[in-house]
A and B are shown apart, each in its own frame.
Chain A
Amino acid sequence: MTLLVALLASTLFISNAMKSEYNTIINSYPDIVITNQKALRDTTINEDEVYKVLSIKGVSSAVARVWGHYYFLNGDEKFLILGRDEFETYSNPLLNASSNIAKDSMLVSKEVKKSLQKSYYTEYFNFIKADGSIKRLTIQKTLERSNFLENSALIIMNNDSAKEIFEYDDHEVTDLSVSVANKIEVAFIAAKLKILFPSARVSVKDDLRVMYENIYNLRSGFFLTIFIITFFTFFIIIYDKVSGLNSEQRREIGILKALGWRVGDVLNTRFYEGAMISLVSYILGIVLAFIYVYYFNAPYLKGIFLNNYDLLKDFRIVFNIDFETLALLFFLSVPIYIAATVIPSWRVATLEADEVMR
Chain B
Amino acid sequence: MIKLINTSKIYDKNVVALDAVNIEFKEGELIVLKGVSGSGKSTILSLIAGLIKPTTGEVLVNEKKISKIADHFVSSFRQENIGFVFQKYNLINTLSVAENILLPLVPLNLTKVELKSRLENVLKLFDIEDKKDTLVKNLSGGEQQRTAIARANINSPKIILADEPTANLDEKLSLEFIDILKELKSQKRTIILATHDPLFFELDFVDKVIQVKNGQIIS
Give the interface of A toward B (CB within 8 A): 251-252, 254-265, 268, 353-354, 357
- Taking the complex as formed, is B72 at the interface, i.e. its CB lies under 8 A from any CB of chain A? yes
B72 to A, closest residue via Cβ = A262
B72–A357 touching, CB < 8 Å:
no
A353–B72 touching, CB < 8 Å:
no
The 8 closest A-B pairs by CB, nearest first: A260-B79, A265-B107, A262-B75, A259-B104, A262-B72, A260-B78, A354-B51, A255-B90
How long is the Cα–Cα vector from A259 to B92 in the complex, in angstroms?
A: 12
How long is the Cα–Cα vector from A176 to B69 in the complex, in angstroms?
A: 84
On chain B, the residues within 8 Å of A268 by CB distance are 107
B155 to A, closest residue via Cβ = A260
Within 8 A of A (CB), among B52-80: 52, 71-72, 75-76, 78-80
Q: A256-B103, A259-B103, A357-B90 are in contact. Are A264 and B51 (CB under 8 A)?
A: no
Can you sample 10 A-B contacts with CB below 8 Å? A255-B91, A259-B78, A260-B79, A260-B82, A260-B107, A261-B75, A261-B107, A262-B76, A353-B51, A354-B46
How long is the Cα–Cα vector from A193 to B33 in the complex, in angstroms?
A: 103
B104–A260 touching, CB < 8 Å:
yes
- Taking the complex as formed, is B3 at the interface, i.e. its CB lies under 8 A from any CB of chain A? no
B92–A258 touching, CB < 8 Å:
no
How many residues of chain B get a CB closer than 8 Å to chain A's CBs? 24
- Taking the complex as formed, is B41 at the interface, i.e. its CB lies under 8 A from any CB of chain A? no
Within 8 A of A (CB), among B98-125: 103-104, 106-107
**Which of A251, A254, A256, A263 sits near B72, CB closer than 8 Å?**
A263
A263–B71 touching, CB < 8 Å:
yes
Per DSSP, chain A at the interface is helix
Q: A260-B104, A261-B107, A262-B107 are in contact. Are A357 and B75 (CB under 8 A)?
A: no
On chain A, the residues within 8 Å of B146 by CB distance are none
- Taking the complex as formed, is B34 at the interface, i.e. its CB lies under 8 A from any CB of chain A? no
B52–A357 touching, CB < 8 Å:
no
B75–A252 touching, CB < 8 Å:
no
On chain A, the residues within 8 Å of B103 by CB distance are 255-256, 259
How long is the Cα–Cα vector from A251 to B94 in the complex, in angstroms?
A: 13
A254 to B, closest residue via Cβ = B90
On chain B, the residues within 8 Å of A354 by CB distance are 46, 51-52
B90–A262 touching, CB < 8 Å:
no
User: Other CB < 8 Å A-B pairs besides A258-B49, A259-B78, A262-B76, 4 of them?
Assistant: A252-B92, A255-B91, A354-B52, A357-B86
CB distance from B172 to the nearest CB of A (A): 27
A255–B71 touching, CB < 8 Å:
no
How long is the Cα–Cα vector from A260 to B82 in the complex, in angstroms?
A: 9
Interface 1/0 per residue, B186-211 and A, CB below 8 Å? 00000000000000000000000000
Question: Quick one: which of B76, B90, B104, B151 has the most chain A CB within 10 A?
Answer: B90
CB distance from B147 to the nearest CB of A (A): 13
**Which of A251, A254, A255, A263 sits near B75, CB closer than 8 Å?**
A263
On chain B, the residues within 8 Å of A258 by CB distance are 49, 51, 78, 84, 86, 90
CB distance from A349 to the nearest CB of B (A): 11
How long is the Cα–Cα vector from A264 to B104 in the complex, in angstroms?
A: 14
How long is the Cα–Cα vector from A256 to B51 in the complex, in angstroms?
A: 12
CB distance from B77 to the nearest CB of A (A): 8
On chain B, the residues within 8 Å of A357 by CB distance are 86, 88, 90
How long is the Cα–Cα vector from A264 to B72 in the complex, in angstroms?
A: 8
On chain A, the residues within 8 Å of B86 by CB distance are 258, 357
How long is the Cα–Cα vector from A357 to B87 in the complex, in angstroms?
A: 10
Question: Quick one: which of B51, B72, B86 has the most chain A CB within 10 A?
Answer: B51
A259–B151 touching, CB < 8 Å:
yes
How long is the Cα–Cα vector from A264 to B76 in the complex, in angstroms?
A: 11
B76–A260 touching, CB < 8 Å:
yes
B80–A260 touching, CB < 8 Å:
yes
How long is the Cα–Cα vector from A255 to B75 in the complex, in angstroms?
A: 12
CB distance from A320 to the nearest CB of B (A): 43
On chain A, the residues within 8 Å of B151 by CB distance are 259
A256 to B, closest residue via Cβ = B103
On chain B, the residues within 8 Å of A353 by CB distance are 51
CB distance from B110 to the nearest CB of A (A): 14
B46–A257 touching, CB < 8 Å:
no
How long is the Cα–Cα vector from A255 to B72 in the complex, in angstroms?
A: 15
B151 to A, closest residue via Cβ = A259
How long is the Cα–Cα vector from A261 to B104 in the complex, in angstroms?
A: 7
B73 to A, closest residue via Cβ = A262
How long is the Cα–Cα vector from A264 to B106 in the complex, in angstroms?
A: 13
On chain B, the residues within 8 Å of A254 by CB distance are 90
B51–A255 touching, CB < 8 Å:
no
On chain B, the residues within 8 Å of A263 by CB distance are 71-72, 75
On chain A, the residues within 8 Å of B46 by CB distance are 354
B51–A259 touching, CB < 8 Å:
no
On chain B, the residues within 8 Å of A260 by CB distance are 75-76, 78-80, 82, 104, 107, 155
How long is the Cα–Cα vector from A255 to B148 in the complex, in angstroms?
A: 12
CB distance from B150 to the nearest CB of A (A): 13
CB distance from A246 to the nearest CB of B (A): 13
How long is the Cα–Cα vector from A65 to B80 in the complex, in angstroms?
A: 87
